[in-house]
Structure 1
Amino acid sequence: MDNHRAVDNHSEQSRAAASASGCRRDDGGMVRRVVDALADLVVPRLCGGCGRPGLNWCAHCALLLADAPTAVQTRVPLVVPVYAVGPYTGPRRRAILELKEHGRVDLAAPLGRALADALRILDGWSELPMATSLVLIPAPTRKLSARRRGGDPVTAICRSAAAHLGSAVVVLPILTTSPWARDSAGLSASARSANLAGAIGIGGRGLREIATARAGDTAVVLVDDVVTTGATAAESIRVLDRAGIGVHLVLVIAAV
C-alpha cells in the first residue's frame, strides 16, 4: 500500500535526524550505558528467545524470527485468509511465553517488528487491498488475564508494529471477551467455538474509532499471537462483520 511506502520514507528521515542529533550531543548515551550496566548486576538481561545473557534479544534469535509469512489452514473454517509469521517453535514460542507469562514487555518490540515486516511482505504480495490506512485489531483477551499480565500482549505487539509502519496505521483494541468465557487451553476446536459463541463483543473505544475501521479506504487486519484452531478469529470476524467492520486478513505471530 502507498501508506507503507510513505511510512518507510518517514522512518528513514527520522533515523537520519536522530543520527545527526546524536553526532552533535551524546551526553545521555554514557549515562544510559552506566545505568544499564548497573541494572545488569542486579537483574541480568537474558535474551527472550534463547536465554543468552547480556541482551534482551540477540541477533541469532532476530534472524530466526524473520520468516516470510505462511498461509495457515485452521480447523475452524474462516472466511478470510490466515497467515502466520512462523511456527510456534524455538525463539518465537519462547518470546511469546515470556511476554505473556513472565512480564517481559520488552519482547513486544521484536515481535512487533516481525509483525510489521510480515505486513509489508503481504502487502507486496497484494494480499491487502489498496487503501490509504491500515487498521490492526488485536484479538480479544480476558480482562483478568490482561490485568495479571500487566496489559494486553497482543495490543502491545500491534502498537510496536504500528510504530514501525507509521501514522497511517491505527491500532483499535475494541474486541472484548466476556468474563464467563472459559480459558480455551486444552479444548477441542468444537469446544473452543462453543465456549466463545456470544462471548466476544465490541466496546471500550467509542463510535469514532469504530467508524475508522468501517471506512471504505481502510484495510483491516485481525492480529493474534498464536492460532491453534481458529475459533477466536472466527468469532471475532463474525462480531466485527455484524458491526459493519469487514476484516480482510488474519495475521498471527505463530501457528501451532
Structure 2
Amino acid sequence: MRANTVILKSPDEIDAMREAGRLSAKVLRILGEHAKPGVSTLELDELAEETIRSEGGIPAFKGYGGFPGSICASINDQIIHGIPSAKAILRDGDILSIDTGATVDGWVGDNAWTFPIGKVSDEKKKLLRVTEKCMWAGLDAARAGNHLGDIGHAIQSIAERAGFGVVRDYGGHGIGRDMHESPHIPNHGFRHWGLTLRVGMVLAIEPMINAGTHKFVTMPDGWLVCTKDGKPSAHFEKTVAITEDGPVVLTTEPDFKRPVSTESE
C-alpha cells in the first residue's frame, strides 16, 4: 500500500470483513467476562489467542511490529499498548482497556473496550461512560460526504464538555487486509475539515480519553503509553464501514444492541 492511499472496499469485500469483525467482538466480550480481580492480563491474552484460533482466525496483534501479545491490556493510567504480563494482576477498582483483533480469510477486525474491575470510583464510571459516547458519536459521523474533522470534532466536543482530555498523537485508522491503512483518524478536529469520507471506506474509530491532561509519556519498553499526570484513561474502538445506507459497524456479534446514546453529560 502506498502511503496516504485510501483503499475503498466493495460491498462484497465489506461483507467478507464481517466474520473478522464478529470474531474480534466475540473475543472482546469473552475477555470482559473473565476480567475480574485476581486475574492476570497474561491469562486474558492466552484466552484471547485460544478463542481466536479455535474459530480458524489468527491473532491480528501477535507479532505485529514485534508486539508479543494477542491483546493490548492497559490498566488505569495506561492509555494503550500495555503488554500482557503474569505480574499485571487486576484489582478491585481498576479499569482495564483491552484492544484486540482477529484476521479471518485475510481480513482484519479491530476493536477495544474498557472494562470496570469490581467496584470502581465515580470518576472512572463517568470516564467510561463518556468515552463510549465519544466512540458512538465518532461512528455516527462516519458518513459519506462528511470529513475526517467531523469525526474528530464529534469525539472532542463530548470529551471536553465533560472536562476530560483527548489524546492527540494517537487515533483511529483505515483497516482492511492490513490492520493499519490510511487514513489516520484524529480524535480531535473541526467540522468540515480534512479528507472527504466516501462510500467503501472502512475505518477503526477509537477515542482515547484521559480523566486529566491529554498529555502522555511513553514507557521504556517502547510500547506502553501512560497519562502524564497519572490519572486514568479509557479506550473504546469499533470498526465501521461507510455505505450508501450510512455507517455499518462490523465488529459486533449478531445479537449486539447499542447500549448508550451520544447525548452529552
- Shorter chain as denominator, the TM-score bin is under 0.3
The structure where strand makes up a greater share of residues is: 2
TM-score (normalised: structure 2): 0.27
The structure where helix makes up a greater share of residues is: 1
TM-score (normalised: structure 1): 0.27
User: Looking at CA atoms only, which structure, 1 or 2, has the larger radius of gyration?
Assistant: 1
